[in-house]
Amino acid sequence: MPITIPLDDLTKTKIVQMILNKKTEEALQHLSKFYNVTPPEIVVGTIKGKRKTVYAVYVQKESKIYATNSDVFYNPFIVLHEYYHHIRTKGGMHRGSEKNANLYAKTFIDAYNRIIKQIMESRLER
């Protein structure tokens, strides 16, 4: 079951924008304040056995997200997908399914796209 705490579209857009602007740690700190959890550490690195199969992985024991390279470090969908696993484990729940992690990340990307579209349309109307 996905996390049901609602974040508004503007907040989600700001989080995505922070990650795109290479402020990933700041974005995770902001989200963690909202969920009242300690933010995960995020680093560029790999985990044995996962090096060729995933772009990033959340390691619960370390509260750390490992991104395979700096491109992944600034990819909002992947970062938010792994962050979903973090908040699920910090909330005392199972890590959550891959499907729900994807849905969680997608809500941020969809919100970002909606807000950017609104901004662009309003500029065209001027």
Nearest to residue 55, comparing CAs of 67, 64, 70, 40? 67
Q: What is the mean pLDDT of the chain?
A: 88
Q: Which residue has the tokens 């349309």?
A: 121
Q: How sure is the predictor about 53, in pLDDT bands with cuts at 50, 70 and 90?
A: low
Predicted pLDDT at 112: 97
Predicted pLDDT at 5: 57
Predicted pLDDT at 125: 76
Backbone angles phi, psi at 69, to 5 degrees: -160, 175
Tokens of 33: 């304040």
What's the mean pLDDT in 75-89?
Answer: 95
pLDDT tens by residue, 91-102: 766 666 899 999
CATH of 19-119, one of 3.30.2010, 1.10.3470, 3.30.460, 1.10.10: 3.30.2010
Is residue 80's pLDDT more than 90? yes
Tokens of 100: 């729900």
Q: How sure is the predictor about 124, in pLDDT bands with cuts at 50, 70 and 90?
A: confident
**Contacts (Cβ under 8 Å, ≥6 apart) of 122:** none
DSSP annotation of 44 reads E
